Amino acid sequence: EPEVTQTPSHQVTQMGQEVILRCVPISNHLYFYWYRQILGQKVEFLVSFYNNEISEKSEIFDDQFSVERPDGSNFTLKIRSTKLEDSAMYFCASSGEGIGYTFGSGTRLTVV
């Protein structure tokens, strides 16, 4: 079964550093998403991306965040200057012609 692949599975970074989280969505999917889950809390929407542009973003997705689809297969989330409160599990998801959202296994980001 096709999968959404996220790398790395765990990243530790120092406060103030830039971090890039990587995702490879399912190959024929057209819609891409990032979500985050702070430990013990709900899964929160960050941003959706379609046709090479952001289609919607939440209030969490401020100027410190950006997304990019640099080639035909990768979808990245960049956090420019990480804060302690950015520590969370970040999930990438993709969606195709059918109705459904396939999630990756997540990247656990720890900001120290």
Partner 1 sequence: AQSVTQLDSQVPVFEEAPVELRCNYSSSVSVYLFWYVQYPNQGLQLLLKYLSGSTLVKGINGFEAEFNKSQTSFHLRKPSVHISDTAEYFCAVSDRARRDKIIFGKGTRLHILP
What 48-52 contacts at long range (C-beta under 8 Å, 24+ apart), as own/partner pairs, is 49/75
For the bound state, the minimum distance from the C-beta of residue 12 to partner 1, rounded and expressed in Å, comes to: 16
Instruction: Decide whether 70 or 98 has the Cβ nearer to partner 1.
Output: 98
d(CA 66, CA 34): 11
Closest distance to partner 1 from the beta carbon of 20 (Å): 19
Do 93 and 4 touch, CB atoms closer than 8 A?
yes
Binding residues for partner 1, per CB under 8 A? Answer: 31, 33, 35, 41-45, 48, 50, 55-56, 91, 93, 95, 99-106
CB of 4 to partner 1, least distance (A): 8
